[in-house]
Chains A and B, each alone.
Chain A
Amino acid sequence: MNKKETNRAKQLSVEKQYQKGVKLLDIDTTIAEYMVNTVIPEVEEHGQGVKIPLLYGNAERWANAREKGYLRDQRGKIQIPLIMFKRNSIERDTALAQFKDLNTIPAYRKYSQKNRYERFSLIQGSGPTYEEYRVSVPDYVTVSYEVMIWTSFTEHMNSIVEQFQYATDRYWGTDDGYKFRTRIDSFDNQQEVGEGSERIIRTSFTMAVNAYLLPETYDESPTVQKSFTPKKVVFGVETDLSGNIFTNPNIYNEYQNVIDFVAIRGSKDAVYVSGDTAKLTNVELPILPQELIGTFDTRNWFRVYINGLFITPDAYTYTFNGVDNEILFTFDLRQVFEQGDRDIVNTLEELDEISITGKFIEL
Protein backbone atom coordinates (compact mmCIF):
# COMPACT_ATOMS: atom_id res chain seq x y z
CA MET A 1 0.00 0.00 0.00
CA ASN A 2 1.47 3.30 -1.08
CA LYS A 3 1.97 6.03 1.43
CA LYS A 4 -0.40 8.92 0.95
CA GLU A 5 1.24 12.05 -0.39
CA THR A 6 0.99 14.96 2.00
CA ASN A 7 1.97 18.57 1.79
CA ARG A 8 2.99 19.54 5.28
CA ALA A 9 2.95 23.21 4.36
CA LYS A 10 -0.84 22.96 4.16
CA GLN A 11 -1.19 21.03 7.41
CA LEU A 12 -2.26 23.85 9.71
CA SER A 13 -3.91 22.81 12.92
CA VAL A 14 -7.55 23.80 13.18
CA GLU A 15 -8.77 24.64 16.66
CA LYS A 16 -11.24 22.20 18.15
CA GLN A 17 -14.08 24.70 18.19
CA TYR A 18 -13.85 25.12 14.42
CA GLN A 19 -13.78 21.42 13.62
CA LYS A 20 -17.42 20.87 14.34
CA GLY A 21 -19.42 19.20 11.61
CA VAL A 22 -23.18 19.07 11.34
CA LYS A 23 -24.35 15.67 12.46
CA LEU A 24 -27.72 13.97 12.53
CA LEU A 25 -27.68 14.32 16.30
CA ASP A 26 -27.34 18.09 15.88
CA ILE A 27 -30.37 18.20 13.59
CA ASP A 28 -32.45 15.98 15.86
CA THR A 29 -31.44 17.98 18.92
CA THR A 30 -32.22 21.29 17.24
CA ILE A 31 -35.68 20.12 16.24
CA ALA A 32 -36.36 18.61 19.67
CA GLU A 33 -35.21 21.69 21.57
CA TYR A 34 -37.25 24.01 19.38
CA MET A 35 -40.34 21.91 19.97
CA VAL A 36 -39.79 21.88 23.74
CA ASN A 37 -38.87 25.53 24.09
CA THR A 38 -41.09 27.17 21.48
CA VAL A 39 -43.80 25.05 19.95
CA ILE A 40 -45.23 22.71 22.56
CA PRO A 41 -47.71 24.57 24.78
CA GLU A 42 -48.76 23.98 28.33
CA VAL A 43 -52.18 22.43 28.78
CA GLU A 44 -54.45 23.01 31.71
CA GLU A 45 -55.33 20.19 34.05
CA HIS A 46 -57.41 20.95 37.13
CA GLY A 47 -56.45 24.58 36.93
CA GLN A 48 -52.74 23.87 36.67
CA GLY A 49 -50.52 24.26 33.66
CA VAL A 50 -48.84 21.04 32.63
CA LYS A 51 -45.83 21.05 30.35
CA ILE A 52 -46.16 18.23 27.87
CA PRO A 53 -43.10 15.94 27.78
CA LEU A 54 -41.42 15.16 24.49
CA LEU A 55 -39.86 11.76 23.89
CA TYR A 56 -37.79 10.34 21.11
CA GLY A 57 -39.49 7.24 19.78
CA ASN A 58 -38.41 3.69 20.58
CA ALA A 59 -35.74 4.43 23.14
CA GLU A 60 -34.02 1.60 24.94
CA ARG A 61 -36.44 -0.29 27.12
CA TRP A 62 -34.73 0.51 30.40
CA ALA A 63 -34.47 4.20 29.51
CA ASN A 64 -38.19 4.44 28.87
CA ALA A 65 -39.24 2.32 31.82
CA ARG A 66 -36.78 3.56 34.44
CA GLU A 67 -35.06 6.78 33.45
CA LYS A 68 -38.35 8.16 32.19
CA GLY A 69 -40.17 6.28 34.91
CA TYR A 70 -41.78 9.51 36.12
CA LEU A 71 -43.99 9.37 33.04
CA ARG A 72 -45.55 6.17 34.36
CA ASP A 73 -47.50 5.29 37.45
CA GLN A 74 -46.64 2.55 39.97
CA ARG A 75 -47.98 -0.13 37.67
CA GLY A 76 -46.15 1.18 34.64
CA LYS A 77 -49.09 2.86 32.90
CA ILE A 78 -48.01 5.85 30.82
CA GLN A 79 -49.48 9.19 31.86
CA ILE A 80 -50.61 11.46 29.02
CA PRO A 81 -50.52 13.99 27.33
CA LEU A 82 -47.29 12.99 25.63
CA ILE A 83 -45.55 13.82 22.40
CA MET A 84 -43.25 11.38 20.66
CA PHE A 85 -41.13 12.05 17.60
CA LYS A 86 -38.73 9.97 15.58
CA ARG A 87 -36.76 10.33 12.39
CA ASN A 88 -38.15 8.30 9.52
CA SER A 89 -36.00 9.08 6.48
CA ILE A 90 -33.24 11.20 5.01
CA GLU A 91 -33.56 12.18 1.39
CA ARG A 92 -30.92 13.91 -0.70
CA ASP A 93 -31.90 17.37 -1.91
CA THR A 94 -30.99 17.12 -5.58
CA ALA A 95 -31.74 20.81 -6.19
CA LEU A 96 -28.70 21.71 -4.09
CA ALA A 97 -26.21 19.14 -5.34
CA GLN A 98 -22.59 20.31 -5.18
CA PHE A 99 -19.10 19.20 -6.08
CA LYS A 100 -18.26 18.62 -2.46
CA ASP A 101 -14.53 18.07 -2.78
CA LEU A 102 -13.99 21.20 -4.87
CA ASN A 103 -16.29 23.85 -3.46
CA THR A 104 -15.69 25.43 -0.10
CA ILE A 105 -17.39 28.18 1.84
CA PRO A 106 -14.81 30.63 3.21
CA ALA A 107 -15.10 32.20 6.63
CA TYR A 108 -12.64 34.70 8.08
CA ARG A 109 -11.44 35.42 11.55
CA LYS A 110 -9.90 38.85 11.69
CA TYR A 111 -7.98 38.27 14.90
CA SER A 112 -4.90 36.13 14.61
CA GLN A 113 -2.05 35.52 17.00
CA LYS A 114 0.24 36.01 14.07
CA ASN A 115 -0.58 39.73 14.16
CA ARG A 116 1.81 41.21 16.71
CA TYR A 117 2.26 44.94 17.17
CA GLU A 118 5.54 45.97 15.65
CA ARG A 119 6.80 49.02 13.82
CA PHE A 120 8.57 46.87 11.29
CA SER A 121 5.27 46.02 9.60
CA LEU A 122 4.52 49.74 9.31
CA ILE A 123 7.79 50.28 7.51
CA GLN A 124 7.15 47.34 5.23
CA GLY A 125 3.61 48.47 4.48
CA SER A 126 2.20 45.06 5.37
CA GLY A 127 -1.31 44.69 6.75
CA PRO A 128 -2.75 42.24 9.27
CA THR A 129 -3.34 38.68 8.21
CA TYR A 130 -6.74 37.01 8.57
CA GLU A 131 -7.33 33.41 9.49
CA GLU A 132 -9.31 31.83 6.70
CA TYR A 133 -11.38 28.73 7.34
CA ARG A 134 -12.59 27.00 4.22
CA VAL A 135 -15.57 24.86 5.08
CA SER A 136 -16.48 22.11 2.66
CA VAL A 137 -19.93 22.41 1.15
CA PRO A 138 -22.28 20.16 3.15
CA ASP A 139 -24.74 17.61 1.84
CA TYR A 140 -28.17 19.15 1.63
CA VAL A 141 -30.87 16.73 2.70
CA THR A 142 -34.53 16.61 3.55
CA VAL A 143 -35.07 14.87 6.88
CA SER A 144 -38.51 13.45 7.55
CA TYR A 145 -39.82 13.14 11.11
CA GLU A 146 -42.92 11.45 12.38
CA VAL A 147 -44.62 13.06 15.35
CA MET A 148 -47.32 11.46 17.44
CA ILE A 149 -49.35 13.23 20.11
CA TRP A 150 -51.40 11.45 22.75
CA THR A 151 -53.90 13.25 24.90
CA SER A 152 -56.90 12.28 26.94
CA PHE A 153 -58.99 15.22 25.75
CA THR A 154 -59.68 16.78 22.38
CA GLU A 155 -59.37 20.27 23.84
CA HIS A 156 -55.79 19.55 24.84
CA MET A 157 -55.09 18.17 21.41
CA ASN A 158 -56.53 21.25 19.72
CA SER A 159 -54.18 23.62 21.50
CA ILE A 160 -51.15 21.48 20.62
CA VAL A 161 -52.08 21.08 16.96
CA GLU A 162 -52.74 24.82 16.63
CA GLN A 163 -49.23 25.56 17.83
CA PHE A 164 -47.63 23.10 15.44
CA GLN A 165 -49.71 24.46 12.55
CA TYR A 166 -48.54 28.00 13.27
CA ALA A 167 -44.91 26.83 13.49
CA THR A 168 -44.85 25.36 10.02
CA ASP A 169 -42.73 26.96 7.28
CA ARG A 170 -40.42 28.52 9.82
CA TYR A 171 -36.77 28.09 10.58
CA TRP A 172 -36.57 25.94 13.68
CA GLY A 173 -33.51 26.47 15.82
CA THR A 174 -31.73 29.11 17.82
CA ASP A 175 -29.98 32.31 16.84
CA ASP A 176 -26.59 31.09 18.01
CA GLY A 177 -27.07 27.53 16.78
CA TYR A 178 -28.42 25.73 13.79
CA LYS A 179 -31.63 26.67 12.00
CA PHE A 180 -33.54 24.36 9.71
CA ARG A 181 -36.63 25.14 7.69
CA THR A 182 -39.48 22.91 8.77
CA ARG A 183 -42.70 22.17 6.97
CA ILE A 184 -45.82 20.34 8.15
CA ASP A 185 -48.37 19.54 5.50
CA SER A 186 -51.24 17.80 7.29
CA PHE A 187 -52.42 16.40 10.61
CA ASP A 188 -54.12 13.05 11.03
CA ASN A 189 -56.58 13.16 13.95
CA GLN A 190 -57.98 10.01 15.56
CA GLN A 191 -60.20 9.32 18.54
CA GLU A 192 -59.86 5.74 19.74
CA VAL A 193 -62.57 4.31 21.93
CA GLY A 194 -62.99 0.54 22.19
CA GLU A 195 -64.15 -2.16 24.52
CA GLY A 196 -61.48 -3.02 27.09
CA SER A 197 -59.28 -0.09 26.18
CA GLU A 198 -58.95 3.48 27.28
CA ARG A 199 -60.22 6.42 25.22
CA ILE A 200 -57.27 8.12 23.57
CA ILE A 201 -57.06 11.16 21.32
CA ARG A 202 -54.21 10.65 18.91
CA THR A 203 -52.79 12.96 16.25
CA SER A 204 -49.91 12.08 13.99
CA PHE A 205 -48.15 14.07 11.31
CA THR A 206 -44.89 14.16 9.44
CA MET A 207 -42.45 17.06 9.30
CA ALA A 208 -40.08 17.72 6.41
CA VAL A 209 -36.92 19.49 7.56
CA ASN A 210 -34.48 21.04 5.09
CA ALA A 211 -31.12 20.37 6.67
CA TYR A 212 -27.52 19.73 5.81
CA LEU A 213 -24.91 17.26 6.92
CA LEU A 214 -21.17 17.68 7.15
CA PRO A 215 -18.82 15.19 8.79
CA GLU A 216 -15.88 16.46 10.81
CA THR A 217 -13.46 14.36 8.84
CA TYR A 218 -13.62 12.41 5.64
CA ASP A 219 -10.89 10.07 4.45
CA GLU A 220 -8.83 11.16 7.45
CA SER A 221 -8.87 14.79 6.29
CA PRO A 222 -10.80 17.52 8.12
CA THR A 223 -13.64 19.12 6.22
CA VAL A 224 -12.54 22.51 7.56
CA GLN A 225 -9.20 23.72 6.19
CA LYS A 226 -7.28 26.64 7.65
CA SER A 227 -5.00 29.13 5.93
CA PHE A 228 -3.72 32.69 6.41
CA THR A 229 -4.36 35.55 4.04
CA PRO A 230 -1.22 37.32 2.72
CA LYS A 231 0.02 40.31 4.69
CA LYS A 232 1.22 42.11 1.62
CA VAL A 233 0.53 41.86 -2.09
CA VAL A 234 3.27 43.03 -4.45
CA PHE A 235 2.45 43.64 -8.11
CA GLY A 236 5.42 43.15 -10.42
CA VAL A 237 6.06 43.25 -14.14
CA GLU A 238 5.72 39.98 -15.94
CA THR A 239 7.32 39.54 -19.32
CA ASP A 240 7.27 36.85 -21.92
CA LEU A 241 10.84 36.74 -23.14
CA SER A 242 10.07 34.30 -25.94
CA GLY A 243 8.99 37.31 -27.90
CA ASN A 244 6.42 37.28 -30.60
CA ILE A 245 3.11 36.50 -28.98
CA PHE A 246 2.38 40.17 -28.29
CA THR A 247 1.08 42.20 -31.18
CA ASN A 248 2.02 45.37 -29.41
CA PRO A 249 5.61 45.29 -28.08
CA ASN A 250 4.90 48.29 -25.86
CA ILE A 251 3.40 45.87 -23.40
CA TYR A 252 6.73 46.20 -21.59
CA ASN A 253 5.88 49.85 -20.98
CA GLU A 254 8.77 52.17 -20.22
CA TYR A 255 11.14 49.37 -19.14
CA GLN A 256 11.02 47.58 -22.46
CA ASN A 257 14.61 48.48 -23.47
CA VAL A 258 16.03 47.53 -20.09
CA ILE A 259 14.25 44.19 -19.99
CA ASP A 260 15.25 43.36 -23.53
CA PHE A 261 18.87 44.23 -22.81
CA VAL A 262 19.01 42.25 -19.56
CA ALA A 263 17.59 39.25 -21.33
CA ILE A 264 20.33 39.24 -23.96
CA ARG A 265 22.92 36.59 -23.45
CA GLY A 266 25.02 35.23 -26.30
CA SER A 267 27.46 32.32 -26.27
CA LYS A 268 29.60 31.46 -29.24
CA ASP A 269 33.05 30.25 -30.32
CA ALA A 270 35.17 32.94 -31.97
CA VAL A 271 36.85 32.37 -35.32
CA TYR A 272 40.64 32.60 -35.50
CA VAL A 273 41.79 35.55 -37.61
CA SER A 274 45.47 36.06 -36.86
CA GLY A 275 48.06 35.54 -34.15
CA ASP A 276 46.43 38.20 -31.90
CA THR A 277 42.88 38.57 -33.26
CA ALA A 278 39.70 36.53 -33.36
CA LYS A 279 36.17 37.42 -34.33
CA LEU A 280 32.58 36.57 -33.63
CA THR A 281 30.65 36.32 -36.86
CA ASN A 282 27.00 36.75 -37.60
CA VAL A 283 26.33 38.62 -34.37
CA GLU A 284 25.05 42.01 -33.38
CA LEU A 285 26.27 44.20 -30.54
CA PRO A 286 23.32 45.67 -28.59
CA ILE A 287 23.27 49.25 -27.40
CA LEU A 288 23.43 49.84 -23.66
CA PRO A 289 20.08 51.38 -22.62
CA GLN A 290 20.19 54.91 -21.27
CA GLU A 291 18.77 53.74 -17.92
CA LEU A 292 21.68 51.36 -17.34
CA ILE A 293 24.51 53.74 -18.09
CA GLY A 294 26.60 54.04 -14.97
CA THR A 295 25.14 50.95 -13.33
CA PHE A 296 25.88 48.23 -15.84
CA ASP A 297 29.43 46.86 -15.65
CA THR A 298 30.64 47.47 -19.20
CA ARG A 299 34.05 46.01 -18.41
CA ASN A 300 32.46 42.63 -18.18
CA TRP A 301 30.39 43.01 -21.33
CA PHE A 302 32.02 39.83 -22.55
CA ARG A 303 33.56 36.83 -20.84
CA VAL A 304 36.32 35.39 -22.96
CA TYR A 305 37.95 32.00 -22.50
CA ILE A 306 40.95 30.76 -24.49
CA ASN A 307 41.34 27.00 -24.14
CA GLY A 308 39.27 27.22 -20.97
CA LEU A 309 41.38 30.01 -19.45
CA PHE A 310 39.44 33.12 -18.48
CA ILE A 311 40.91 36.27 -20.06
CA THR A 312 40.44 39.46 -18.09
CA PRO A 313 38.89 42.44 -19.89
CA ASP A 314 42.21 44.33 -19.68
CA ALA A 315 43.81 41.83 -22.04
CA TYR A 316 41.66 42.56 -25.09
CA THR A 317 39.79 45.23 -26.98
CA TYR A 318 36.88 44.78 -29.37
CA THR A 319 35.23 46.55 -32.25
CA PHE A 320 31.88 45.95 -33.86
CA ASN A 321 31.45 45.92 -37.60
CA GLY A 322 27.79 46.54 -38.21
CA VAL A 323 28.04 45.98 -41.95
CA ASP A 324 29.43 42.47 -41.73
CA ASN A 325 27.85 41.78 -38.32
CA GLU A 326 31.16 40.86 -36.77
CA ILE A 327 32.86 41.67 -33.47
CA LEU A 328 36.63 41.66 -33.77
CA PHE A 329 38.65 40.94 -30.63
CA THR A 330 42.30 42.10 -30.49
CA PHE A 331 44.33 40.53 -27.70
CA ASP A 332 47.31 41.99 -25.87
CA LEU A 333 49.27 38.75 -26.08
CA ARG A 334 51.71 39.65 -23.35
CA GLN A 335 48.90 40.02 -20.81
CA VAL A 336 47.06 36.98 -22.12
CA PHE A 337 49.98 34.66 -21.64
CA GLU A 338 50.90 36.13 -18.28
CA GLN A 339 47.57 34.87 -17.02
CA GLY A 340 48.27 31.34 -18.15
CA ASP A 341 49.81 28.82 -15.83
CA ARG A 342 51.01 26.59 -18.59
CA ASP A 343 53.69 26.59 -21.12
CA ILE A 344 52.13 28.44 -24.01
CA VAL A 345 53.32 29.72 -27.40
CA ASN A 346 53.54 33.43 -28.06
CA THR A 347 50.66 33.69 -30.53
CA LEU A 348 47.14 32.46 -30.94
CA GLU A 349 46.87 29.40 -33.05
CA GLU A 350 44.11 28.22 -35.34
CA LEU A 351 43.37 25.23 -33.12
CA ASP A 352 42.95 27.34 -29.99
CA GLU A 353 39.39 27.25 -28.63
CA ILE A 354 38.16 30.80 -28.04
CA SER A 355 34.75 30.81 -26.32
CA ILE A 356 32.94 34.10 -25.74
CA THR A 357 29.75 34.75 -23.78
CA GLY A 358 28.12 38.06 -23.00
CA LYS A 359 25.92 40.78 -24.39
CA PHE A 360 25.67 40.03 -28.05
CA ILE A 361 22.82 38.84 -30.20
CA GLU A 362 23.29 35.77 -32.32
CA LEU A 363 21.66 36.38 -35.69
Chain B
Amino acid sequence: MPRFALDRDIKFFQSISRELVEAVIETHVVLYKLIIGDSKTNLYGESLNKTYYQGVQTSAVIERDDTSVSYEGFGPDSGQNVEFRFNRFKLEETGFYPEIGDIIYHNDAYFEIDNVREDQLIGGQTGEKFSIIVSTYMTRRSTIQTEERVL
Protein backbone atom coordinates (compact mmCIF):
# COMPACT_ATOMS: atom_id res chain seq x y z
CA MET B 1 0.00 0.00 0.00
CA PRO B 2 1.59 3.32 -0.98
CA ARG B 3 2.08 5.93 1.69
CA PHE B 4 0.04 8.73 0.10
CA ALA B 5 -2.83 6.72 -1.47
CA LEU B 6 -4.43 4.85 1.36
CA ASP B 7 -7.83 3.15 1.19
CA ARG B 8 -9.45 6.15 2.81
CA ASP B 9 -7.89 8.49 0.24
CA ILE B 10 -9.04 6.35 -2.62
CA LYS B 11 -12.59 6.10 -1.31
CA PHE B 12 -12.68 9.86 -0.85
CA PHE B 13 -11.48 10.31 -4.42
CA GLN B 14 -14.09 7.89 -5.71
CA SER B 15 -16.93 9.57 -3.85
CA ILE B 16 -15.91 13.06 -5.01
CA SER B 17 -15.67 11.80 -8.57
CA ARG B 18 -19.05 10.16 -8.42
CA GLU B 19 -20.74 13.14 -6.81
CA LEU B 20 -19.30 15.45 -9.43
CA VAL B 21 -20.66 13.39 -12.32
CA GLU B 22 -24.03 12.39 -10.88
CA ALA B 23 -25.09 15.30 -8.67
CA VAL B 24 -23.23 18.36 -9.84
CA ILE B 25 -22.82 18.12 -13.58
CA GLU B 26 -25.74 15.73 -14.09
CA THR B 27 -25.72 15.42 -17.87
CA HIS B 28 -27.47 12.26 -18.95
CA VAL B 29 -26.69 10.04 -21.89
CA VAL B 30 -28.12 6.74 -23.06
CA LEU B 31 -25.79 3.86 -23.79
CA TYR B 32 -26.63 1.15 -26.35
CA LYS B 33 -24.62 -2.05 -26.24
CA LEU B 34 -24.05 -3.89 -29.51
CA ILE B 35 -25.05 -7.57 -29.44
CA ILE B 36 -22.19 -9.22 -31.29
CA GLY B 37 -23.80 -12.64 -31.38
CA ASP B 38 -26.79 -11.32 -33.31
CA SER B 39 -24.81 -9.05 -35.64
CA LYS B 40 -23.52 -11.44 -38.30
CA THR B 41 -20.64 -10.12 -40.36
CA ASN B 42 -19.75 -10.77 -43.98
CA LEU B 43 -16.35 -11.15 -45.60
CA TYR B 44 -15.75 -7.43 -45.31
CA GLY B 45 -16.34 -7.35 -41.57
CA GLU B 46 -19.66 -5.56 -41.99
CA SER B 47 -23.00 -6.27 -40.46
CA LEU B 48 -26.00 -5.03 -42.41
CA ASN B 49 -28.36 -5.74 -39.53
CA LYS B 50 -26.92 -4.76 -36.20
CA THR B 51 -28.74 -5.46 -32.98
CA TYR B 52 -28.40 -3.50 -29.75
CA TYR B 53 -29.48 -4.08 -26.20
CA GLN B 54 -32.02 -1.74 -24.71
CA GLY B 55 -30.49 1.62 -23.76
CA VAL B 56 -29.13 2.35 -20.31
CA GLN B 57 -29.21 5.91 -18.96
CA THR B 58 -26.27 7.21 -17.00
CA SER B 59 -24.40 10.43 -16.30
CA ALA B 60 -21.19 11.58 -17.92
CA VAL B 61 -18.90 14.53 -18.21
CA ILE B 62 -19.08 15.55 -21.84
CA GLU B 63 -16.52 17.41 -23.87
CA ARG B 64 -17.88 18.40 -27.25
CA ASP B 65 -16.05 19.65 -30.31
CA ASP B 66 -17.93 22.16 -32.42
CA THR B 67 -20.24 20.69 -35.00
CA SER B 68 -18.49 20.67 -38.36
CA VAL B 69 -19.93 20.60 -41.83
CA SER B 70 -18.25 19.05 -44.85
CA TYR B 71 -19.23 19.32 -48.50
CA GLU B 72 -18.40 16.42 -50.80
CA GLY B 73 -20.94 16.83 -53.56
CA PHE B 74 -23.89 15.59 -51.51
CA GLY B 75 -24.52 18.93 -49.83
CA PRO B 76 -23.81 19.80 -46.19
CA ASP B 77 -22.92 16.81 -44.01
CA SER B 78 -22.70 17.45 -40.28
CA GLY B 79 -20.22 15.82 -37.99
CA GLN B 80 -19.10 16.13 -34.41
CA ASN B 81 -16.56 14.47 -32.18
CA VAL B 82 -17.48 14.13 -28.53
CA GLU B 83 -15.57 12.72 -25.58
CA PHE B 84 -17.65 11.15 -22.80
CA ARG B 85 -16.09 10.66 -19.38
CA PHE B 86 -17.83 8.14 -17.17
CA ASN B 87 -17.40 7.31 -13.54
CA ARG B 88 -16.20 3.74 -13.50
CA PHE B 89 -18.07 2.75 -10.34
CA LYS B 90 -21.36 4.10 -11.62
CA LEU B 91 -20.93 2.10 -14.84
CA GLU B 92 -20.18 -1.01 -12.81
CA GLU B 93 -23.52 -0.57 -11.06
CA THR B 94 -25.39 -0.27 -14.35
CA GLY B 95 -23.56 -3.30 -15.73
CA PHE B 96 -22.34 -1.48 -18.79
CA TYR B 97 -18.77 -1.48 -20.00
CA PRO B 98 -18.37 0.68 -23.12
CA GLU B 99 -16.50 -0.86 -26.03
CA ILE B 100 -15.63 0.14 -29.55
CA GLY B 101 -18.78 0.02 -31.68
CA ASP B 102 -21.26 0.77 -28.88
CA ILE B 103 -23.57 3.73 -29.33
CA ILE B 104 -24.20 6.71 -27.07
CA TYR B 105 -27.28 8.86 -27.49
CA HIS B 106 -26.77 12.47 -26.57
CA ASN B 107 -28.20 15.79 -27.70
CA ASP B 108 -30.49 14.25 -30.36
CA ALA B 109 -27.63 12.42 -32.02
CA TYR B 110 -26.03 9.02 -31.90
CA PHE B 111 -22.31 8.72 -31.31
CA GLU B 112 -20.27 5.59 -32.01
CA ILE B 113 -17.37 4.78 -29.75
CA ASP B 114 -14.07 4.50 -31.59
CA ASN B 115 -11.69 4.53 -28.61
CA VAL B 116 -11.92 3.59 -24.96
CA ARG B 117 -9.34 4.78 -22.46
CA GLU B 118 -8.79 3.90 -18.82
CA ASP B 119 -5.57 5.75 -18.31
CA GLN B 120 -6.48 7.75 -15.20
CA LEU B 121 -5.18 5.92 -12.16
CA ILE B 122 -5.65 7.09 -8.57
CA GLY B 123 -2.23 7.65 -7.17
CA GLY B 124 -0.75 5.82 -10.16
CA GLN B 125 -2.09 2.54 -8.82
CA THR B 126 -2.94 0.15 -11.68
CA GLY B 127 -5.79 -1.37 -9.71
CA GLU B 128 -7.41 1.97 -8.94
CA LYS B 129 -8.91 3.19 -12.15
CA PHE B 130 -11.78 5.61 -11.58
CA SER B 131 -12.75 6.80 -15.04
CA ILE B 132 -13.61 5.42 -18.45
CA ILE B 133 -13.12 7.95 -21.20
CA VAL B 134 -14.53 7.20 -24.62
CA SER B 135 -13.94 9.08 -27.85
CA THR B 136 -16.86 9.11 -30.22
CA TYR B 137 -17.94 10.54 -33.53
CA MET B 138 -21.46 11.33 -34.69
CA THR B 139 -22.75 8.33 -36.62
CA ARG B 140 -25.45 8.12 -39.27
CA ARG B 141 -28.78 6.73 -38.17
CA SER B 142 -28.93 4.82 -41.46
CA THR B 143 -25.87 2.84 -40.34
CA ILE B 144 -27.06 1.75 -36.93
CA GLN B 145 -30.74 1.20 -37.78
CA THR B 146 -32.03 2.13 -34.35
CA GLU B 147 -34.95 4.01 -35.83
CA GLU B 148 -37.17 3.45 -38.83
CA ARG B 149 -35.83 5.27 -41.84
CA VAL B 150 -37.96 8.04 -43.31
CA LEU B 151 -37.56 8.43 -47.07
Residues of A within 8 A of B (CB): 25, 28-29, 32, 55-56, 59-68
A25 to B34, CA, bound (A): 25
The reply to whether the CB of B99 lies closer than 8 angstroms to some CB of chain A is: yes
Contact in complex: B43, A65 (CB < 8 Å): no
Contact in complex: A29, B101 (CB < 8 Å): no
Cβ contacts B84-125/A at 8 Å (1 or 0 each): 000000000000000111100000000010100000000000
Residues of B within 8 A of A (CB): 34, 36, 39, 41-47, 99-102, 112, 114
- Apart from the given pairs A60-B47, A67-B45, 14 other A-B contacts in the complex at a CB distance below 8 Å: A56-B43, A59-B41, A59-B44, A59-B45, A60-B41, A61-B100, A61-B112, A62-B102, A64-B45, A65-B99, A65-B100, A65-B101, A66-B36, A68-B45
Q: Note all chain B residues with C-beta closer than 8 A to A32.
A: 43
Contact in complex: A63, B43 (CB < 8 Å): no
Q: What are 21 inter-chain pairs, A to B, with CB distance below 8 A? A: A28-B44, A32-B43, A55-B45, A56-B44, A56-B45, A59-B46, A60-B41, A60-B101, A61-B100, A61-B101, A62-B34, A62-B101, A63-B46, A63-B47, A65-B100, A65-B101, A66-B34, A66-B99, A66-B100, A67-B36, A68-B45
Q: Note all chain A residues with C-beta closer than 8 A to B114.
A: 61
Shortest Cβ gap from A220 to chain B (Å)? 21
Q: Note all chain B residues with C-beta closer than 8 A to A28.
A: 43-44
Contact in complex: A60, B43 (CB < 8 Å): no
A99 to B8, CA, bound (A): 82
Q: Note all chain A residues with C-beta closer than 8 A to B102.
A: 62
Contact in complex: B100, A62 (CB < 8 Å): yes
Q: Note all chain A residues with C-beta closer than 8 A to B46.
A: 59-60, 63
Q: Chain A: which residue is nearest B44 at the CB level?
A: A56
Q: Note all chain B residues with C-beta closer than 8 A to A66.
A: 34, 36, 99-101
Q: Note all chain B residues with C-beta closer than 8 A to A60.
A: 41, 45-47, 101
A67 to B100, CA, bound (A): 11
A66 to B36, CA, bound (A): 8
Contact of B43 among A29, A62, A64 (CB under 8 A): A29
Q: Note all chain B residues with C-beta closer than 8 A to A56.
A: 43-45
A64 to B36, CA, bound (A): 12
A60 to B41, CA, bound (A): 9
The 9 closest A-B pairs by CB, nearest first: A62-B101, A59-B45, A65-B100, A63-B45, A56-B44, A63-B41, A61-B100, A60-B46, A29-B43
A29 to B44, CA, bound (A): 9
Shortest Cβ gap from A221 to chain B (Å)? 26
A326 to B68, CA, bound (A): 105
Q: Note all chain B residues with C-beta closer than 8 A to A65.
A: 99-101
A153 to B93, CA, bound (A): 45
Shortest Cβ gap from A76 to chain B (Å)? 8
Q: Chain A: which residue is nearest B41 at the CB level?
A: A63
Q: Note all chain A residues with C-beta closer than 8 A to B39.
A: 62
Shortest Cβ gap from A65 to chain B (Å)? 4
Shortest Cβ gap from A75 to chain B (Å)? 10
Q: Note all chain B residues with C-beta closer than 8 A to A62.
A: 34, 36, 39, 99-102
Q: Note all chain A residues with C-beta closer than 8 A to B34.
A: 62, 66
Q: Chain B: which residue is nearest A55 at the CB level?
A: B45
Shortest Cβ gap from A21 to chain B (Å)? 17
A56 to B44, CA, bound (A): 5
A63 to B100, CA, bound (A): 9
Shortest Cβ gap from B115 to chain A (Å)? 9
A64 to B46, CA, bound (A): 10
A82 to B36, CA, bound (A): 23
A59 to B45, CA, bound (A): 5
A60 to B45, CA, bound (A): 6
A356 to B99, CA, bound (A): 101
Shortest Cβ gap from B107 to chain A (Å)? 22
Q: Chain A: which residue is nearest B42 at the CB level?
A: A25
Shortest Cβ gap from B35 to chain A (Å)? 11
Q: Note all chain B residues with C-beta closer than 8 A to A61.
A: 100-101, 112, 114
Shortest Cβ gap from B82 to chain A (Å)? 16
A61 to B42, CA, bound (A): 14
Shortest Cβ gap from B27 to chain A (Å)? 25
A32 to B44, CA, bound (A): 11
Q: Chain B: which residue is nearest A62 at the CB level?
A: B101
A63 to B39, CA, bound (A): 9
